[in-house]
Amino acid sequence: MMDDERLISELHHGSKEALREIYLKYKDNLLTIAAALLHDSIAAEDILHDVFITLACVAKRLELRVNLKNYLIASISNRIRDKYRKKSHNMVELVKAEQITSNSDGPEQSAIFGEEVQFLIDALYRLPFEQREVIVLHLTGGLKFREIAKVLDISTSTVQGRYRYGIARLQTELNGENRNDSC
């Protein structure tokens, strides 16, 4: 597989193979980010495909100010933000982008693990979008706070605050303070 600079150069010259390689290189990571932000894997796939269609359309005149990975993550994030602005969401249950497995031995441990993962996913989705976005971009996307600030066009301190408040809220939820269990 070619490095990003070479892929961008090939893309500028209209190479469909370069576009395909970029897609194969980044699709899994981008799909995971989109699914985590949307809580809907089908909508996440649609967003991913829209981003790559747009990339194909602007390929010859594309000038990046950040690296390719950050550009694609920003494109996913911006497309999702646009989707939120256009209409209120009626979100459906998350159909996982990939099967989550545990190292446990047996169905009982797997069921407990699955319930805990689902609780975490639900708790993450209950966060305000801005906090969820920063957490997902940092933990799933692997971006540093200053990179997230650049991608979202906000200050680094705002990113750090959103992350801190989001993690605190997740800890509160996961510690059972907002859990509606009857046990």
Domain limits, CATH 1.10.1740.10, in the chain = 4-86
Domain limits, CATH 1.10.10.10, in the chain = 107-174
Record: fold of 107-174: Arc Repressor Mutant, subunit A (1.10.10)
Burial class (CB in 10 A: 0-12, 13-18, 19+), 166: buried
pLDDT for the residue 97: 36
Q: How far apart, in whole angstroms, are the C-alpha atoms of residue 142 and residue 87?
A: 29
- Per-residue pLDDT tens over the stretch 13-36: 888 999 999 999 999 999 999 988
Q: Is the pLDDT of residue 41 over 90?
A: no
Nearest by Cα to 123 from 77, 169, 181: 169
Q: pTM value?
A: 0.69
State the greatest distance between any 2 C-alpha atoms of the chain, in Å, as a whole number.
62
> pLDDT class for 170, splitting at 50, 70, 90?
confident
> pLDDT class for 94, splitting at 50, 70, 90?
very low
CATH number of 4-86, picked from 3.40.50.2000, 3.30.930.10, 1.10.287.10, 1.10.1740.10: 1.10.1740.10
Q: Is the pLDDT of residue 7 over 90?
A: no
